[in-house]
Amino acid sequence: MALTKYKLGSLLELLDERNSDLKYGIDDVKGISIQKVFIETKADMTGVSLKPYILVKPDSFAYVTVTSRNGEKITIAHNDTENTYIVSSSYVVFRVSRPDLLLSDFLFMIFNRPEFDRYSRFNSWGSARETFSWEEMCDIDIDLPSITVQQKYVDIYNSMLANQRCYERGLEDLKLTIDAIIEKFKNGTNRISLGDLVIESDERNTDDMIQSVNGVNKDKRFMPSVANGSDLTKYKLVQHNQFACNLMHVGRDVAVPVALNSKDEPIIVSPAYIVFNTKDDTILPEFLLMWLSRTETDRYAWFMCDTNVRSGMEKKRFFEIEIPVPSVQEQKSLIEMYDALFIRREVCEKLKAQIKDLCPILVKGAVEEGTK
């Protein structure tokens, strides 16, 4: 048993079948993330013709040639489903033409190695936008073990992937349960305006003890701010279990930038933020954050932003948002389920990262076994 050297291009076939008959629609349009998976497109598809889009059939690959400003990675994905996707005509779509010599899953394991990301970046050319062309892809030298050895390590990889996906399906079931409970609260519980549930706070960093400024990201979490205030004594304090919200930057993508300080120590935010906390035990802070984090709430807030070109939201309108308030025990039960979902999602992401980190080890094992 030995390794055999090939030019990758001799094992691949370029595909360029277009969606000219419009068989596939907007729901079939996909993008690719730097995690090397197909994702829902983020492009504005209003008025865009889908006829030029390229079909990505099962067991084929697609990648974006542009590698500059891409996290030092190449965005490439393998369609391992039974569905056909469509991607922008700027993508390159291909498949393995010699499955007797190279397994698609083994090739994707190679693509998942950090070495491949570094290779594609080093061999990307251009000025304003560096690209890793199809010609460069085809010029890669690849040492392959036998199909039997490839299959052995692909089976290990697919076994781990199947376990991760089974775990992920469990997350979807839990999310559906949470959504059903939220729907019940939305339609069967009295609503109270936000302004009647919270009280605004205006405590300042007057002693200048806190020097690191925080902002709020689109995930409703505090993050270090890129702003450098010269006089931090004017910045607002956010104590434990207090909220901070930047109503000046409510928009389509960020929606409502609101976060809850669950830490014991206070933080500071820009004076432009509003800071508030719940008035009493009628509503739990975690439940309020969960409701303000819903995409439906975000859409409503964005719809109400008509005051200026920056899509700012008036404080009065923000406090007019109505919140359904079930019993404290019902709130606690839903929070526990939501926390469990959050923790399990983190575990799932770690599993994905571990599987990806194992790809170089599996490929190395296959190559070493192939040289014996």
Q: Write down the domain spans for the chain.
A: 4-144, 145-169+331-372, 190-325
Residue 115 structure tokens? 């070495």
- 120 vs 227, residue with greater confidence: 120
pLDDT number for residue 189 = 84
pLDDT number for residue 10 = 97
- The structural architecture, per CATH, of the domain 4-144 is Alpha-Beta Complex (3.90)
In percent, the amount of the chain with pLDDT more than 90 equals 56
Backbone φ and ψ for 97, nearest 5 degrees, come out as -95, -15
Average pLDDT, the chain: 89
Strand, helix or coil for residue 11: helix
- 297 vs 321, residue with greater confidence: 321
Residue 194 structure tokens? 């936000």
pLDDT at 300 over 80: no
Burial of 318 per CB tally in 10 Å (0-12, 13-18, 19+): buried
In percent, the amount of the chain with pLDDT more than 70 equals 93
- Classify domain 190-325 by CATH number: 3.90.220.20
Q: What tens digit of pLDDT does each residue of 236-268 get?
A: 999 999 999 988 766 555 577 899 999 999 999
pLDDT band for position 285 (50/70/90)? very high
- 321 vs 301, residue with greater confidence: 321
Q: What tens digit of pLDDT does each residue of 26-57 get?
A: 999 999 998 899 999 888 888 899 999 999 99
pLDDT number for residue 342 = 85
Q: β-strand 267-269 against 213-216: which pairing, if any?
A: parallel
pLDDT at 229 over 80: no
Cα–chain center distance at 224: 20
User: H-type helices in the chain, by residue range?
Assistant: 104-111, 114-122, 134-138, 147-188, 285-292, 295-303, 315-319, 328-371
